[in-house]
Amino acid sequence: MNKAPAKKLLFISRHAPYGSSLAKDALDAVLASSAYDQQLSLLFMDDGVFQLLSNQSSTEIAQKSFSSILPVLPLYEINSIYVHYESLEKRQITINELVLDSVQIIDSAAICSLLAQQDQLLSF
């Protein structure tokens, strides 16, 4: 890893858990990145918001549950976690169904400025 000033990296996770490996691979990438002293944020939008549902019983399909993986994010000092409000609303998911309680729910307009502040977007 070359020395360079910290950059703002936003990971955008837009796919449902389990159906494809994208959601899991996004998390792996976020967790791996936490070791490199960059300013990391994570945004869940579109079907990606399904990852946040609590009480997922994925053991029946031999997969690790997102509702048990996601709570480790703060332990990796990933505290800037955003969830797209309109994506939740469209899927009739309410805030108290989410497994993380420290997320920031932001609307489309706020996402525009969030994206504009970043140095790089990593899209999953």
Q: What is the 3-state secondary structure (H, E, C) of 47-101?
A: HHHHHHECCCCHHHHCCCCHHHHHHHHHHHCCCCEEEEHHHHHHCCCCHHHECCC
62 near other proteins (CB under 8 A): no
Q: What is the DSSP letter of 119?
A: S
Quick one: which of 28, 89, 97, 107 contacts other proteins (CB under 8 A)?
Answer: 28
Strand stretches in the chain, DSSP E: 8-13, 39-44, 81-84, 104-106, 120-123
Stretch that binds other proteins, among 20-28, 57-65, 74-82, 88-96 (CB under 8 A): 20-28
Stretch that binds other proteins, among 14-22, 53-61, 73-81, 91-99 (CB under 8 A): 14-22
Stretch that binds other proteins, among 29-37, 55-63, 65-73, 75-83 (CB under 8 A): 29-37
Quick one: which of 16, 29, 93, 105 contacts other proteins (CB under 8 A)?
Answer: 29
